Structure 1
Amino acid sequence: MIKFSIEFYINIYKIKEILNFNISMLCLKPLFLTITYNKFNINKKVINYLIKKNLKILPHIICKKKIKNFNYLLNSYFLINLKNLMIIKGDNSKNNYYYSYNIVNLIKKNYINEFNIFLGDYTESHPSSLNFLINIKNNKIKNIIKKNVNFISQYFYNIESYYNFYDNLKKINYKIKFIPGIMFIKDFYKIVSFSNICKTELPLWIIKKLNNNKFYKKEYKKTNKEIILNLILKLLNFKVKILHFYSMNNSYLVNIICESLNNNLNL
């Protein structure tokens, strides 16, 4: 049976909407929610709310703060028994903890095995990397992989990029846990722009198909669903057990995909 995790987006201007997010609407209960990082007090409020709903939470830790801030954040999560963390690189403001491996080393040193660590990664290379394999072949990254961390990928639409990235990871550590990320194409222009920023390939056939239907709401939704289902079914054929949805807080879209999978696979 396929399992799911979901990214939950925190918007400080829509805090009421977030707290009213009806997780029970999801037809398949997620394994966990990753929580995007904004301000600590807001994150803490949302996280405590979701914990009371008996959900497993992975808050984002962004690599752009000083060690004092990191220790405060980690201690705060540790005290509320939140033992799962999602570490991402964050913005371009460089400091001693600019890269994910710096944070992993800090956590492993100070907390040993108290936290389960997840890292975000790109199957088609990080936007700031010119070399596709630099993330994998870099010795610092190799050392992280050997520390039993888990990976959740950024979204992708070219299934071959996932196969290739997965094969390279397995050569370093065959026990690695890697969860592919799935993003729904809600807005054609936004996904094109975001893909350019993230250096994520949008296959030409997808661009043409979406572009042809972008002004026809019903057809666009149908096309969107077909593209995502096609990608998911290929991942399932590759024996993927868990998928990560970038929901943008849209439980309706998550439900459409879940229901379609139920109908197609009798989950």
Structure 2
Amino acid sequence: MTAKRISFEFFPPKTSEGLEKLLGVQQQLLARKPAFFSCTYGAGGSTRDNTLNTVAQLREHHADTAPHLSCIGEGREELVKLINGYRDSGVTRIVALRGDLPSGMGYAQGELKYADDLVRLIREVSGDHFTLEVAAYPEMHPQARSFADDIAHFKRKIDAGANAGLTQYFYNADAYGFFMDALQKQGCDAPVYPGIMPILNVANLIRFSNTCGADIPRWLASKLNDLKDDEVAVRAFGTEIVTRLCERLLAMGAPGLHFYTMNQAAPTLKVLDNLGL
């Protein structure tokens, strides 16, 4: 069987203590030989400096680290500076996103409005230097006008020069299968890696899901509601559910898995142990 690609996502810590802890988490996850780590970029570039610093620290351990880069709220000149800076520092992979504006700022009429615009800019500035990952939404982006429009937009990102997709997290494997079928019908055969979110805290999961449009199936929400006051039970049940989801996705032909670690090692490691990865 072809080896499956595994990758892990972090968010930039706000303190030096948080960064030190994150580097310890990285060391635990490095043992699983991930293809890369990624590091998120706050709305409107609000965590730009922390992202730059975190990426530099993660790369000191000889780990391929992909900074997230979003174009909303950023000028073209500043984006070119960031792209060149990453290239010059040896970064070879970027997660290229449209991104969000900080709360209350409305929609920016910037020079680059969509992720495919950013992909084209990166290719214009740096050629094929970077492997470019872009976002995919098996349950449809919450701002998309229709599922067909969302499929077309993903294909535009690939046609602009992106190499692969990383999905928003989901708990319905059929959503991924339908998404991949729809892409293939449009002649798009780029690899799309499912994003996997461990279940750690019920209130946080519901809040995240409401924000990003990820669906929590009714049966799963009901079970989690019954367990919500018992953190140990929530995590044990969550590990079982996420393991089953990953098993099915890999059986369906998913080329690998991208884990949203929430800057913790143990929940992801338990799933990987269950999967034998």
Q: TM-score, normalization: structure 1?
A: 0.90
1:171 and 2:172 matched? no
Question: How far apart, CA to CA, are the structure 2 residues paired with 1:15 and 1:254?
Answer: 23
| Amino acid across the alignment from 1:5 | S
Return the offset for 1:260: 1.9
Check the 8 A contact 2:133/2:162 in 1, yes or no.
no
CA RMSD of aligned residues (A): 1.8
Return the offset for 1:152: 0.2
Return the offset for 1:253: 1.1
Question: How far apart, CA to CA, are the structure 1 residues paired with 2:156 and 2:253?
Answer: 26
The answer for the alignment partner of 1:58 in structure 2 is: 66
Aligned counterpart in structure 2 of residue 116 of structure 1, from 123, 131, 140 = 131
Q: Point out 4+ residue stretches in structure 1 off by more than 6 angstroms.
A: none
Question: How far apart, CA to CA, are the structure 2 residues paired with 1:201 and 1:79?
Answer: 40
Question: How far apart, CA to CA, are the structure 1 residues paired with 2:20 and 2:231?
Answer: 29
Return the offset for 1:174: 4.7
Return the offset for 1:148: 4.7
1:71 and 2:94 matched? no
Give the direction of change, closer, same or farther, for the CA distance of 1:137–1:42 in structure 2 (3 Å limit): closer
SS in 1 for 2:147: coil
User: Which shows bigger deviation, 163-172 or 68-77?
Assistant: 163-172
Question: How far apart, CA to CA, are the structure 1 residues paired with 2:143 and 2:260?
Answer: 21
The answer for the alignment partner of 1:155 in structure 2 is: 169
Check the 8 A contact 1:5/1:33 in 2, yes or no.
yes
Check the 8 A contact 2:164/2:191 in 1, yes or no.
yes
User: Which shows bigger deviation, 45-54 or 73-82?
Assistant: 45-54
Check the 8 A contact 2:195/2:260 in 1, yes or no.
yes
Check the 8 A contact 1:5/1:30 in 2, yes or no.
yes
Which ranges of structure 1 fall in alignment gaps of 5 or more residues?
Answer: none
How does 1:38-57 map onto structure 2 within 5 Å? Answer: 38=42, 39-57=47-65
Question: How far apart, CA to CA, are the structure 1 residues paired with 2:187 and 2:67?
Answer: 25
Give the direction of change, closer, same or farther, for the CA distance of 1:220–1:83 in structure 2 (3 Å limit): same
| Amino acid across the alignment from 2:94 | L
The answer for the alignment partner of 1:33 in structure 2 is: 37
Check the 8 A contact 1:145/1:173 in 2, yes or no.
no
Question: How far apart, CA to CA, are the structure 2 residues paired with 1:78 and 1:137?
Answer: 29
Number of aligned residue pairs: give it.
260
SS in 2 for 1:258: helix
The answer for the alignment partner of 1:88 in structure 2 is: 97
Question: How far apart, CA to CA, are the structure 2 residues paired with 1:153 and 1:145?
Answer: 14
Question: How far apart, CA to CA, are the structure 2 residues paired with 1:49 and 1:130?
Answer: 40
Question: How far apart, CA to CA, are the structure 2 residues paired with 1:43 and 1:193?
Answer: 23
Question: How far apart, CA to CA, are the structure 2 residues paired with 1:133 and 1:5?
Answer: 28
The answer for the alignment partner of 2:5 in structure 1 is: 3
Question: How far apart, CA to CA, are the structure 2 residues paired with 1:2 and 1:177?
Answer: 12
| Amino acid across the alignment from 2:139 | E
Once the two structures are superposed, what CA deviation does each residue of 1:187-212 show, in whole Å capped at 9, x if it has no partner? 11221222122222111111111111
Once the two structures are superposed, what CA deviation does each residue of 1:142-173 show, in whole Å capped at 9, x if it has no partner? 34323352100010111111111111122234
Q: TM-score, normalization: structure 2?
A: 0.87
Give the direction of change, closer, same or farther, for the CA distance of 1:113–1:162 in structure 2 (3 Å limit): same
Return the offset for 1:7: 0.5
SS in 2 for 1:7: strand
Check the 8 A contact 2:97/2:118 in 1, yes or no.
no
Give the direction of change, closer, same or farther, for the CA distance of 1:142–1:121 in structure 2 (3 Å limit): closer
Check the 8 A contact 1:19/1:49 in 2, yes or no.
no
| Amino acid across the alignment from 2:126 | Y
Return the offset for 1:220: 1.7
SS in 2 for 1:225: helix
1:137 and 2:152 matched? yes
1:181 and 2:175 matched? no
